[in-house]
Every structure is written in C-alpha cells, then in structure tokens.
Structure 1
Amino acid sequence: MMNIEKQSFGTTPEGKEVLKYTLSNNQGMEVDIISYGAIITAIRVPDSRNEPGDVVLGFDTLEEYLGDHPYFGAMVGRVCNRVGKSRFELEGRIFHITANEGANQLHGGKNGFDKQVWTTYSHKTPDQISLMLGYESADGEEGYPGSLLVEVEYSLNDKNELGISCRAKTDKPTHVNLTNHSYFNLNSCEGNILGHEMMIAAGSITELDGESIPTGKILLVDSTAYDFRLSTEIGERIDQVEPGYDINYVLDMKQRELT
C-alpha cells in the first residue's frame, strides 16, 4: 500500500534537526525528501525489468547538502534564476537584495529557501500520499519586502505521478517565483543525458545578456537549436549552442502538455 516513512537525516550547525521522508506507492516508486531546502534527494522508479533506479542527482548525507552544490533537488526562492544588479523597483521603491553571483542575485541570495529548514506534515488519502513543507520568510530577508508564508506539497499516486504544488501568501507587495531545481537522468544517473528525448511546448525564448540576465527581448526558436516543440534528442543539436542549453523558454500556455 501507499506509505510515508520518516527518519532523522542529521542536524544543521545551528542545531536544527533535519528530517527525511520517503513516499512510496504500490508500483514500487519511491521519493525521498528532506526538510532542509525541501530537497528531493532521490526518485526511484522501476524500469521495464521492474528494477528500481534513481533518476535524479543528489547526495547521501546532510553534510554534502550543507556544502556548495548546484541546488540539487532544492526549492529555490524567493525568486529563482537571476535578478540583475541585485535590485528591482516595486510600487515606486527601489529594493536592493543580496548579491551572490557577482553583482547579481541567483536563486534567492546567500541564504535562500534552499538553505532553510522547513516545517513538515504528511497527509494520506485513498488516491495519493502527500508531504507538505512550509517556510516563513521574514520581512526584509535577503532584502525582499514583506513576510512570505510558503507551502510546497509533494504528492505521489499509483500512476507513478509525482506532483509539486506551490503556494505563497504575503502581507506586502513583493516578488516571488519558486521552482524545484532537480536534475534528471533517466539512465539511473549513469552516463550523460545526450540521448534523452525532450519536448518543450515553447515557440520562443528570452534573449540574455553576457551575465545571463534577460534583456526583455523575446526571440523565436524557429530554425534554431532551441526548438524542442517536437520530441528531439538533447544531444542532436547541443553543439550548436555555447556552452550548452541554459535559457528561459516562453511556454505556449494554450497547449495542455508543456513538456
């Protein structure tokens, strides 16, 4: 039957316990999530031979997550991606936020949501199991205005569907743009992903400057290496893009299946 298990995953240098939850269904799929950063540490999915394989990159210990890493599996915020010059204007005011990538802010700053211990509670219905994680970001944290209450729900059902739902509530006008930063490799993280096929329902991308900040200009993907509107191997045209795919797609919202 569908189940959720809890165990200790270690303690932060500040003395906060980090919990690890394992969600499992009747098909043999399992998802590991820790309360530090609301991080997905593993997704084990049975293959065609019914052998489980972990399809996301991650670590085995809390100590590794406390060190430098490229946001493996984390919930990032308040604002994912980059904020140019670590400043923005909102309702006539200029806000200066913490810089952590040169002059810019990346993924919420030096102590973003990926570096916080979230509260947790689980929920189970006949159709799915869910883990809810919450974090309250104080007014002024990393330079952002307003208190922000964030809740992320990870849910697993017997169709082997992993759902991620995000909600946020604030007491002041602010910016919030959350994402999960998992890295997938469907070969059980063995070898590269150049042979993986990908489809993205997007006819446009954002133009970027030399620091990967959007210029505000929208570019069409027609006749470019960025066109994934039809399922295409990632490695088929990657040599045409330097240093590889690291771009923002503008999704065609009228299409139901976006990826």
Structure 2
Amino acid sequence: MTRAGIALRLILQALAFLIVIGPHWLSLRFGHGRLAGRMPVLFHRLFLRLFSLRITQSGTPPSAGEPALVLSNHVSWLDIVVLGSLRPLSFVAKSEIEGWPLIGTLAKLQRTVFIERSKRAATASVNATVGERLADGDLIVLFAEGTTGDGLRLLPFRSSLVGAARAALAAEAGGLARIRLQPLALTYLRRNGLPVTRAERPEIAWYGDMELASHLALFANRGPIDVHVAWGVPIAFDAATDRKVATAQAEAAVRRALRETRLGGPAGRPAPVAPSPAGEGADVSAPGIAAV
C-alpha cells in the first residue's frame, strides 16, 4: 500500500469519526442504547474494509441482549477493532489508555471500563461497575492475560476481574441468577493468503517495548490479514462458582482453541455462526470481510 493510499484511508476513517461522533455522543447522553451500540460496530467495520482485515468465526457467541463476560487472549490493538466489528460490546482496559490522544476518546465512546492496576482497591470498584453493566445486559470483553503477547504463547489468565461476574449476581437492580463466562480465542492466521510466520508477528502483534509508529507502518504496508475468532463453550457462573476454577477453565478452552486453529482442527475450519434473534453479532458482510 502506498503512502498516498494509507493517507486516503486514514482521511476516510477520520471523516467517518467526525460524522458519527455527534449522534453517538447524543445517543449515549440520552440513553438510546441500541444506536449507541451500533455506531462503534459500523466504525470498526469501515476500518476492516479500508485496511483489508478478513474475519471468520466458529462456535456460538452470546445471543443479542444476553449478558456475558468474555475472557479472551490479547495479541494486538487490532483485537479491539476485530471484536468491536462483530457486535455491540465494551472492554475493560488499563487507565492509561483513557488519557491517550484520540485512542482514549474512542475507548470512552465505546463505554470502556478503565482500571488503575497499580491500586489494588481499584479491582473491587471495577468489578462493581462491570457487574452493574452485566446485570443491565451488556457484553463485556476482558483480556484476561492482562497484557498483549506475540500470539504464539498464552499467558496465565488473571482471575481478579472475573469477580465482576459475582458482582453481577449481587447487583441491587436486576441481579442475575447466573452469568455466562465466554472463552474467546483470537488467532491471526494469514497475511496475503499465506500463513503468518514468526518474522511477520511484529507486523500484527504489538507487545513488549515495540515502537508503535514502526509497528503501524509495517501493519499498513504488508497486505490483507485473515483473523479467526473462536467462541468457546460457555461456562455458567452462579453464586456457588469458584472464580479461580472458572478462570482456569476459560484459559484451558482458549489454549485449546488456539492450538486447534493453528493446526487446522475444528476451530481452523470456520463454521458460520448462527444469527442471533435480533440480528446482532453475525452480520459482517462488507466486501473484504468474510460474512459469518
């Protein structure tokens, strides 16, 4: 992709942002939940189309309106765009992101829940906030490793924020009988139709002390990326569930899905995801994006 091509795509994405930010802010301000949820989806899908990311899915995601805490691996900032394009959802993120130029604004518009990891007391507050959101029917994504990785190895899942599921059960308004914990595995499989090599990982994964500018240049210049999203078998979480055991089960499910996808097993042969009753979550039909 030429510099002019990259610049044009960024201008189109910026124009889309300027067009939707006003209506989106108003929808958040006045409680129009469906509109507020759909606008980020459309914004992310435009990015996928402009920069040639193609998504396939396997497994069964939560139905529209079904509250769930998604426990996912974390490879790159691209994870936000990929998952955000599939259906209305929000993320849990470190508090530093809130102050980043533009990125922080986008995160807040997606109703991201921020946590100060240096303060242990912050965990209880975030769990309460996420619990209330789950009790209201939201879909919340937690990158349970706590940081990004190279996509080849899975770091241990942290169980502390899974306490949000218990907070949802105890929420004063609309407390739930059980919460769906949803394992999810993200695998960046191919670049230009060929398997991603170890040397190509820095073009997609962003981790450690990698410089963002050089990473973005590599990402934009090297051609289409195929990413697979594998929804694992959900784990029912109720008042008697041990969060550490549930977290370990989710980690094992994600590890298994990553292995199967890379080896071309069940998760590597994507099956269409059945549309949800309200039509949310499986409509990714823009050119250059695999419809699922």
Is TM > 0.5 for Structure 1 vs Structure 2? no
Name the larger-Rg structure: 1
Q: Which has the higher strand share?
A: 1
Q: Which has the higher contact order (CA 8 A, sep 6+)?
A: 2
Structure 2-normalised TM-score? 0.26
Q: Which has the higher helix share?
A: 2
